Chains A and B, each alone.
Chain A
Amino acid sequence: MKIVGVCACTVGIAHTYIAQEKLENAAKKAGYEIHVETQGTIGRENELSPEAIAAADVVILAVDVKVAGRERFEGKRIIQVPTEVAIKSPSKLLEKAKEVVQQQAV
């Protein structure tokens, strides 16, 4: 499964990056491809390319604030959760993503 994501927390210095790390590690463990953009105090990092977005099966938005450039994901399957969820149970979140992808594939 190919996943792209955006992490953005309120203050933008901690949860944003911890969520990114957690999601990346969980995806690695599950054997999924993942690409996570962060929108924090230092701005956008690891920005998602249009190709990556197009190829993705699902978009995970782990955000507590508005996502910059949300139009990029129009038409994609999106799962939006608070950054807490990505930090607390990244594997469960990815499982949910898998379900969403499988359901809608039918």
Chain B
Amino acid sequence: MDISTVIDPKIIKTNMEAASKEEALQQLSQLLYTNEYLTDQAAFLKDVYEREAVGQTGIGNYIAIPHGKSAHVKEIGVAIGVLKEEIPWETLDGKGVKGIILFAVGDDTEGAQKHLKLLSLFARKLGNDEVTAALLKAKEPQQVIEAFQG
């Protein structure tokens, strides 16, 4: 299975400028909404923040994996943002965040098995230091995709 098919270059933002988690999530969810992944951006964001309240999504090494399992998701997708500057976030290692992977998953998990399977393989890659290091260096969407192909 080619994991890079999970990644849509239209919802990747490199050289991203944001000063806070809120700004970054606003921008990334906007990308998802504009590209028809969401039916309701504000409601989706609410679900993302609910998950934020449950536990840290900063997994260390400047990477954060906020996610929303939400009734307001039309299409399963992953928006990826690579920030120019580190921003504060609740992280396992106390560092800031430069790479944000925002997962959008719908409520209907039965109908989405294949997608979710691809997504789980994609998530696994985020546990790999080489992949995340390459991701953080990416200056354009294509480089982000390439980071996950390695």
A residues neighboring B (CB under 8 Å): 10-11, 13-22, 25, 38, 40-42, 45, 64, 82, 84, 87-88
Give Cα A40 to B55, complex, Å: 16
* Chain B, 89-134, CB within 8 A of any chain A CB: 92-93, 103, 105, 109, 113, 116-117, 119-121, 123-128
Q: Which residues of B contact A84 (CB under 8 A)?
A: 55-56, 92
- Most A C-beta atoms less than 10 A away, residue of B54, B57, B120, B127: B127
Q: Among A13, A38, A45, A88, which residue has its beta carbon within 8 angstroms of that of B69?
A: A13
Q: Which residues of B contact A45 (CB under 8 A)?
A: 120
Q: Among B65, B120, B125, which residue has its beta carbon within 8 angstroms of that of A40?
A: B120
**B137 at the A interface (CB under 8 A):** no
- Most B C-beta atoms less than 10 A away, residue of A13, A20, A22, A38: A13
Contacts A11-B67, A42-B120 given; does A18 touch B54 at CB 8 Å: no
Q: Indicate if the CB atoms of A87 and B120 lie closer than 8 Å.
A: no
Contacts A38-B120, A64-B55 given; does A21 touch B128 at CB 8 Å: yes
Q: Indicate if the CB atoms of B128 and A42 lie closer than 8 Å.
A: no
Residue of B nearest to A20 (CB): B124
Contacts A21-B124, A87-B60 given; does A10 touch B55 at CB 8 Å: yes
Distance between A34 CB and nearest chain B CB, rounded to angstroms: 14
10 tightest CB-CB pairs across the interface, nearest first?
A21-B127, A17-B123, A88-B92, A18-B127, A21-B124, A17-B124, A42-B116, A22-B127, A14-B65, A14-B123
List 12 additional A-B contacts (Cβ < 8 Å) besides A11-B69, A42-B116: A11-B67, A13-B116, A17-B124, A21-B125, A25-B128, A41-B69, A41-B105, A41-B116, A82-B55, A87-B92, A87-B127, A88-B60
